[in-house]
Each structure stands twice: as C-alpha cells, then as structure tokens.
Amino acid sequence: MSEKDLLEKDEIFSKVLRAGRRTYFFDVRETKAGDYYLTITESKKFTHDDGSFHYKKHKIYLYKEDFDAFREILTEMTDYVVEEKGEEVISERHQKDFKKEAIGANGESSHNDSFTDLSFDDI
C-alpha cells in the first residue's frame, strides 16, 4: 500500500476553519486498532521581510475517552470568556475607537493628510 493510500485511509472526516492568519484543521483519524480519535491542528502563516513565508503548526491529539471532559472544560472556558468580555473582539473595538478619534466630532479627519519632505540628514 502506498503512502498516499495510508494517508487517505487514516483521514476519516475533516473540517477546516480559516481565521485570518490562522487555519484550524479538525481531522478524525483511525488508530491501528480501528478506533477513531481527533486531531486539531493550528497552522499559522508567518511572512518574512523578503515576501517568502512559512507555517508553524501545533497539533493536539484527542482520544474518545477524553471527549466529555475536554468538551466540558472547553465549554466552561469559552462561556467564561464571553460572560466576562462579551462576544465582540476587543481588537475590533479598539480599531473602531481609533477610527472615531481619527474622524473627530465634526466628522472631519483629525489626521493631517499633507506630507513633509525629509532628508536623511534631518533625522
């Protein structure tokens, strides 16, 4: 059996969640004994100054015997975060506040759109 056949047999069911620079892969896989387990992989894209990029991946293996406890704690933790901080993402709220400050009370931009000529000698 080829490596491709082994990979196809190993992956039973998959879902992907794209979230900005992060992608989450949820994969049901099969053990050698024929049972199923879940892998959750976070893949995060990093871009170098030259435009090239690489991915860092982190993987969690979750087995059936841990599903109930994992689900319970995950629900408790996510509920806590939402109860304490609400559903709005704070970084988005800060961006809205920044835009309000930039526009100002009169509806005009408070940023000066003109450019200043500088030479490296001035710095």
> What domain count does the chain have?
1
* 112 domain residue, yes or no: no
Return phi, psi of residue 63, to 5°: -100, 155
Is it the case that residue 38 has pLDDT exceeding 90? Answer: yes
State the CATH number of the domain containing residue 35. 3.10.450.700
- Give the tens place of pLDDT for each residue, 51-105: 888 889 999 999 999 999 999 999 999 999 999 999 988 776 556 555 555 555 5
Residue 71 located in a structural domain:
yes
Element (H, E) at 6: helix 3-10
- The answer as to whether 24 is a domain residue is yes
Give the pair of three-digit tokens for residue 75.
């629900």
Whole-model pTM over 0.85: no
Quick check: is 109 in a domain?
Answer: no
DSSP codes of every residue in 33-76: TS-EEEEEEEEEEEE-TTS-EEEEEEEEEEEGGGHHHHHHHHHH
Task: Give the dihedral sign, CA 112/118/122/123.
Answer: positive
